[in-house]
Homo-oligomer: A and B are copies of this chain.
Amino acid sequence: MSSLSDAIAKAGNPVDMLRNSAIGMYVYPVVAPEFTNWRDEQRAWRESAVLFDQSHHMDELIVEGPDAEAFLAHVGINGFANFDLARAKHFVPVTPAGHVIGDMIIFREREDKFILVGRAPTANWTKFQAAIGSWKVRLIHDPRSDSRPDGERVLRTHYRFQIQGPDAPKIFEVMNGGPVPDIKFFHVDWINIGSKKVQALRHGMSGAPGLEVWGPYKDKAYIQSVIMESAEKAGVNLVRCGSRAYSTNTLESGWIPSPLPGIYTGDGMMQEYRDYLGADAYEAVGSIGGSYVSDNIADYYVNPFELGYGFYIGWKKDDFIGKDALAKMKDGPNRKKVTFEWNKDDVLKVIASGFEDGTPYKWIDFPQPNYASSSADMVMQGDKMVGMSMFNGYSFNERCMLSLGVVDESVQEGDVLTMKWGEPDDTGKTSTETHKQAEIRVRVSPTPYSREAREGYAADSWRAKG
């Protein structure tokens, strides 16, 4: 058995295969679980400043050569017209049927050299497109670090840090040895960190400007020291963020990291892709978790409009993979991305079952209860499934459980829906204990999450709706 196709054939159905994956938790590897404690680490990105070490959890794909731009414009849905050297983009490829494969941040390092950073599916698909096309491109793939290095050394091509939070800008000037260039959001420029010149991407959380910096991995310890010393000189409480808090930052910023790649269906090029992918690829060994179980794997897919990526589709490009399909999807109906705010009493009911005999509800592990590479929990309005919860976690800043997902167009902000929490059956997934299902009321809130939704409604609306 050597390809994804073989693996699917053996399992009979890709849903069965992925729901029974024994790969375990999708972890944020190598970085320590906590440097201080995960509550204060979450608080830091809201109240002072936080240092994210992003060196280990993402694949990196370097695409270079005379056709690099044309090739990537063909693979991704994004408009490339304004893609100059000072800019980064959120690169999204879809299948010919218009289903999202994944996403990576793409940086343009030279006219003919791009770096893509993110989960494996986009890197794998991009490599495949290079393999079957005749583009003049060279690709170098540096996969994410081992999930359980067990004391062995881990090396990457690049280190990657983010400095975020309201006090972050105070650090930059000290670090740079003078005022930093005024970099626009998702633009790139060069700054100094001590004696090194590094590239910096202007990023941002909570409205305050943040920076992502990267460079050769061998410089990592030096760069980190200079950043920490600069924070101290600037009088900023810069908190290093461990792997437990890290993944929850997206709940407040509203990005869904884990859509299931829409590559398990389709003939022609899609069949060829499944033959090309190894039986050890993310797409073959990753897992699906959650209460939503459908025989049809396409029911787990999402399209770019549903994830809020419609506005940067490059319609003016002559062609790109999926263009025709997206043109048809454009006017809907499409689901929309929302934040689900979990009902406190229902969450506590689930937790309480861990103190009772018998089969408990699915354990809510704090701050990150996801138990699969891709999650799909059913969100119901009465007996009708109206949405899917796709990535969850606890926010100490908001003092509540939140999740990100998609809902039907008919669902309105403020609506109280019911999420089914936990799986209907025992699967081969090693990441979850035997459990029974619970119902958790969830209130539909905007993405990025805003507390106004919660506070704008009558205090007893939970009861009224529940």
Contacts and interface: CB of A to CB of B under 8 A. Distances in A.
B433 A39 contact: yes
A149 interface: yes
Contact of A352 (B344, B396, B432): B344
A26 to B, nearest CB: 11
A424 B48 CA distance: 25
Contact of A31 (B34, B150, B371, B432): B150
Contact of A33 (B33, B352, B363, B399): B33
A365 B244 CA distance: 12
A202 B383 CA distance: 57
A56 B148 CA distance: 14
Interface stretch (A171-179, A272-280, A330-338, A354-362): A354-362
A39 B352 CA distance: 15
A154 interface: yes
A352 B356 contact: no
A31 B150 CA distance: 6
Contacts of A432: 37
Interface in A145-164: 145, 147-155
A352 B43 CA distance: 19
Nearest to A243: B33
A238 to B, nearest CB: 13
Nearest to A352: B348
A25 B34 contact: yes
Contact of A24 (B35, B396, B400, B431): B35
Interface in A412-451: 430-433
Contacts of A55: 151
Nearest to A365: B366
A32 B31 CA distance: 11
A329 interface: no
Interface string A339-361: 00000100110011011110010
B151 A145 contact: yes
A306 interface: no
A151 B363 CA distance: 30
Contacts of A31: 150
A451 to B, nearest CB: 10
Contacts of A39: 363, 433
Interface in A130-157: 145, 147-155
A163 B411 CA distance: 53
Nearest to A34: B25
B430 A40 contact: yes
Contacts of A36: 24, 430-431
A39 to B, nearest CB: 4
A256 interface: no
A202 to B, nearest CB: 27
A27 interface: yes
A459 B304 CA distance: 55
A44 to B, nearest CB: 11
Nearest to A240: B148
Given A37-B433, A40-B430, A430-B37, A155 B147 contact: no
Contacts of A34: 24-25, 431
Contacts of A433: 37, 39-40, 43, 396
A30 interface: yes
Contact of A25 (B27, B37, B149): B37
23 contacts: A24-B35, A24-B36, A25-B34, A25-B37, A27-B32, A33-B33, A34-B431, A35-B148, A37-B365, A37-B430, A37-B431, A39-B433, A43-B433, A55-B151, A149-B151, A151-B153, A151-B155, A153-B153, A347-B355, A348-B355, A356-B399, A357-B399, A396-B433
